[in-house]
Amino acid sequence: DARVTQTPRHKVTEMGQEVTMRCQPILGHNTVFWYRQTMMQGLELLAYFRNRAPLDDSGMPKDRFSAEMPDATLATLKIQPSEPRDSAVYFCASGFKPLTGFGEKLFFGSGTQLSVL
């Protein structure tokens, strides 16, 4: 079965360190989402790409977070410098959205559990 692959599954780091999370979307999908999930906030949308172009990253703290899609098979989310409040599960999801039509169905990766000490 096709699936979204995220690495690493778990990351423990110290405050101030750079964290890079990677996502391989499902082949043929043209949209990629990054979400962050905590007990308090639920799933928060951080960034959205369509055809590799960033369309919305308004949910992302710009001073320390950055999201890119260097090619169609790789999306990255970086935090620099990381802070304890960044501890959460980070999910990547991909979908296919045609030029016209409604929102796409999303397929999620298994997530990266990030702990910043």
Instruction: Give me the residues that bind other proteins (CB under 8 A), please.
Output: 31, 33, 35, 41-43, 45, 48, 55-56, 91, 97, 101-111
| Nearest distance, CB of residue 20 and other proteins, angstroms | 20
Identity of the amino acid at 13: T
| Nearest distance, CB of residue 97 and other proteins, angstroms | 5
Judged by beta carbon, residue 7 or residue 81, the one nearer other proteins is 7
Q: Which residues pair with 68 in a beta bridge?
A: 76
| CA nearest neighbour of 70 among 23, 104, 5, 105 | 23
For residues 80 and 64, give the distance between their C-alpha atoms in angstroms, rounded to a whole number: 5
Judged by beta carbon, residue 23 or residue 116, the one nearer other proteins is 23
Strands 112-116 and 107-108: unpaired
| Nearest distance, CB of residue 99 and other proteins, angstroms | 10
